Amino acid sequence: MEQERTPKDHLSYPYNQDLSGVLRRMNRRTPFSRKRLANDPVTAAYVLAGMQLIRRHLGPGAQRVLNDPEDDNSLGRPLLSLNRSGFGRDSIV
């Protein structure tokens, strides 16, 4: 009999594995509840999404744009900036 796949099985390695040994600060009272939260498919998907953002914006293949074309050290970091353009009162639909 074939075992049914869980939503977490659709994630790539290592996010489809037991994450309870590496995730910290799981705010639950019992070890059972902490392990269950660490291995929840939604938790694993958030960790995967966070890692993808880090690779995209800070990794070796990140797209870097100069703020000042004449200064090679003036890298713009839109992910880390506090620029809130597009989130004003006028942008609410």
pLDDT score for 43: 92
Q: 3-class DSSP state for residue 2? A: coil
pLDDT score for 48: 92
- Of 43, 76, 82, 49, the closest CA to residue 62 belongs to 76
**pTM of the predicted protein model:** 0.62
Q: Each residue's pLDDT tens digit in the chain (93 positions)?
A: 567 888 888 888 888 898 888 888 888 889 899 899 988 999 999 999 998 888 887 778 776 777 788 887 777 766 555 444 444 444 443
